[in-house]
Amino acid sequence: MKISPLANQMPDYPFIRVARISREVEKRDGIPVINARIGIPDMEAPASVKKAMSEFVLEDRSTFGYPIDVHPERGIPELIDAIIDHYHARYSVTLKPENILVTGWTKEILHNITRLFDSGSIQIPDPVYPAYEAATILSNHKIERVRTSAESGWLPEFDFSRQDTVAFYFCDPNNPLGSIADEDYYISLAEKMRRNDVTGIFDKAYKDYVFDESTKPVSITQVSGLIDYGYEIVSFSKHYNFVGIGLGWVVSSEENIRHWMKFCGQYSQGVEWYKQKVGVFALTSPIVKEEMQEYFEILKERRNIFAKGLNELGLQVELPLATPYLWIKVPDGYDDEDFVLNRLIDKAHVALMPGVYFGKNGKGYCRATIFLPKERIEEALDRISSIRDW
């Protein structure tokens, strides 16, 4: 078989490698490895959501036909209206239906949207969620890495002065770093985008993943003109634990959404009706809101326990204001990949992700998730303590 040169350029997906190593260690030692490496919620969607979905699935014609043929391709009107109300309540902005497109899993959007853009380079912050790199390679664009650092608050230092830059990725709140950009950052970014005609792909998977009501991530809809140059991609997966359901939406200008809808019509059959109805329920139900508030209190306690314990073990970590991730400084004198693979996984049977797997600027750090019961977090800390020699 003749393989595309683009496919050959793709790096191995790092999460798969760490999972494989963890399984090998489990098999060798007969001890389950505690998985704090991947951002999959350990709890299911709220019970009220599952009950509502079961009822929607059983409705007449709920699974009839391709969704894109049977229902409006933009999304069912009830969900579009719920998203409009959500933006008005959250950001005090008024969207039109033409600004919105309902999607399935947003990872597919993040992978495919770069195909809309002219040839050239796409800027990717470093460190960053690894999927952006593969998406850029497969769309036959060049990768232009953008430095982030502790000194800059882990915010990317975008510079669009290069003539061939056509777009960039920006995850905010950020995976893996937990950083959040303020409004001034967005205003400055919008001016640079307008001046250089560069499109932003804003990954908002964690926009509601905040642990303090005073923390308010910015939407592109809040900054004048930014919606004309950006796509805001939002997922139900993390905030409502919809990982096994797959639902999200894209917000942009009418023209940008029209381009994206045209593209989607070529590869997608739309989003199932019953999923969209569940999305309406999640966005509008007081019961779901209460259930998720309780869940976030659990996550906040986990974050506090995990961060405090790691700091007491000499692994420096700041409390993230958002996202379910801890960005951890490895001990001086240790390589982060060696520390995670050959110390934490091999000796302590605790799996984290080496920071360098998110980019070269992640070297010296590692990432943990808080998607673990409190008891497992405490056990992970005990295991790490048992091998401590730093």
Q: What is the pLDDT of residue 10?
A: 78
For residue 171, give Cα distances in angstroms to 46, 95, 202, 217, 349.
26, 22, 6, 11, 30
| Strands 199-203 vs 230-235: parallel, antiparallel or unpaired | parallel
CB 386 within 8 A of CB 348: yes
pTM of the predicted protein model: 0.95
| Chain mean position to CA 223 | 22
Domain locations in the chain?
A: 5-45+288-386, 61-285
| Burial call 226-265: b when 16+ CB within 10 Å, e when fewer | bbbbbbbbbbbbbbbbbbebbbbbbbbbeebbeebbeebe
Blockwise average pLDDT, block size 10, the chain, 390 residues: 81 88 98 94 88 90 82 94 98 98 92 93 95 92 94 94 94 96 97 97 94 90 97 92 90 97 86 94 95 93 98 96 96 97 98 97 97 97 97
In the chain, at which residue ranges do the beta strands (DSSP E only) sit? 34-35, 100-103, 121-126, 142-147, 165-171, 199-203, 230-235, 248-251, 316-317, 325-329, 350-351, 353-354, 365-369
Two structure tokens written together for 247: 């639902």
One fold for both 5-45+288-386 and 61-285?
A: no
Q: What is the pLDDT of residue 356?
A: 97
Q: What is the pLDDT of residue 231?
A: 98
Q: What is the pLDDT of residue 212?
A: 81
CATH class of 61-285: alpha beta
Residues 6+ apart with CB under 8 A from 204: 172, 217, 219, 232, 233, 234, 235
Q: How far apart are the two ends of the chain, measured CA to CA in Å?
A: 50
Q: Does 5-45+288-386 carry CATH code 3.10.20.740?
A: no
Using CA atoms, how far apart are residues 101 and 262, in angstroms rounded to an integer? 11
In this structure, what are the phi and psi dihedrals at residue 378, rounded to the nearest 5 degrees? -65, -40
